[in-house]
Structure 1
Amino acid sequence: MRKRTESRKAEVFVIQPIRNVSMWLSLIASLLGIANIASSDREAAVVEACRAWNRPGSARVLPVQRVAPDGLCFSGEINSASSAAFVDALATLEPATPLVIVVHSNGGEINAGMAMGEALAPLKTTVVAQRVCASSCANYLFTAGDRRVIDDDALLLFHGGAHPIDEGALRKAIGSQIPADQVEAQVANIRADIDRQIRRQDAFSTMARIDVNFFRWMASFNDLPEDAFLTLCPTRDPVMILYSDRLLAMHGVAVHENRGPNSQEALTARVAALGRAEPVCFME
């Protein structure tokens, strides 16, 4: 979210025709460095099962649903309880098996999201963003996948992660709420908490094999003058940003299949179709 204020001789070989889609997927994955991902058939089956489980109006009780033997659906707010349920459910799956994880969430608590991402990153996973994956879902669940997929018409929305705070603005905000002699201690406590989050976020980025400066890059937009920001993003004060595949790939977040909006017009239309009202931006 933007706030104002190295030669080897050539070898000749013959590739035999591959008629099985899963075999094609495995070959492409090896060329791209994506090892041991789930077959296309299993990916499709898990995605469809999660779509049925998480259809609008469904009477879900838990935020997670296992799709035996290698799939998991997650839907809902990211908080300490849903994060623990997700991590516990993930632990019931065979860790050596390529997994398909389908996620749908508007986001939530940053530490809860990082705990989910830390549990995902060491595994062999395809992560599929379904309907909406925003904020902590985009930051820490989607980025943790070996293969990353944006499902039909799904929104992958970012608005930054842990980053240093404007301490002057913080002092002003809390100055009228607590006694003056407690302000500096409160600012120091908040600064220490954020510093811990940033260190944890850096460690997660390394674990997930994405650019350790990805979140700093997002935060840098906060410091741009409004006119400069508007040359990159046509929406004033967007709550969320949908980054192009090109921008994400520049920071190690390769999107391997994208069936979601890929323009401002398509994004605006999809947001409206979902009944959402917050301003959003497509950044190329």
Structure 2
Amino acid sequence: MSDSTPTSQGVQFQTVEADYQDQRIDNYLLAQLKGVPKSLVYRILRKGEVRVNKKRVKPEYKLQAGDVVRIPPVRVAAENPLPSANLAQVQALKDLILYEDGLLLVLNKPAGLAVHGGSGLQFGLIESLRALRPEAKHLELVHRLDRDTSGCILIAKRRSALRHLHEQLRNKIMDKYYLALVRGQWQPHVKRVTAPLLKNTLKSGERVVRVDVQGKPSETKFRIVQKYATATLVEASPITGRTHQIRVHTLHAGHPIAGDPKYGDADFDQSLRELGLQRLFLHAHRVSFQHPQTGQTLTIEAPLDEQLQEVLSQLKRV
């Protein structure tokens, strides 16, 4: 167990690196002071306890390379120690890297691995990668995948790359495609689902999403890849990025995803368990985006794992 007792640190003076050029001081502090409440960050800014080049600044001040930031003593949550880079599950990630250069990497995330530690998990994908790449000081997730979903996930190595890729997500320049095995015969005319989604958190802490007119606008495009006697393999491309979006949109269309413990169909899942399916059949199989430095369009594909391939091989095509 890691010690998560908050620790108090003395006055810090940080020289701003070029990677943080034009970042607002409030966002910079929120990233540096992990676990510190937002209200406290804004209080120390308001009171002038944070100084940039010995001067008081407002929260919207944009940092410049070479600025010296004075951060007063605050109590920060102790970070979980990184896992050992020698752990088998950490080393195994090396073989799952699909693309890597100085600015980013794309990895074929295995099902069952959370992207972040927390909620009883000592470490997740990002902590494992930080242990594996200690020289990369700014590794950050560009986007997320549910713990049970496998496939392409982007990790930025520099803040400039993260900013560029986030901009592509906001402007819908980045395209993500998923393969999902769903119950029954998907109707060819259903090419998109636009049902609004509302997120609820149960008393247990579990997140459940449902279609609701009060929800956020959501859109997913669908294409039939292969029809089977009792199921359809579809390609899903989310236009918006809501929690559990593809899983709830397929359910709304009358075709829940195989192996989905939250939104699935028990009888359908049992029939596929008999074919060896032990996980959610949802896989981020392709991602397409512009390289942050060259502007070149990169398309990266992640193959289905052996379990998913084996299940498909046993289904009867129609």
TM bucket by the smaller chain?
under 0.3
Of Structure 1 and Structure 2, which has the larger fraction of its residues in helix?
A: 1
Q: Normalized against structure 2, the TM-score is what?
A: 0.24
Of Structure 1 and Structure 2, which has the larger fraction of its residues in strand?
A: 2
Q: Normalized against structure 1, the TM-score is what?
A: 0.26
Say which one has the larger Rg. 2
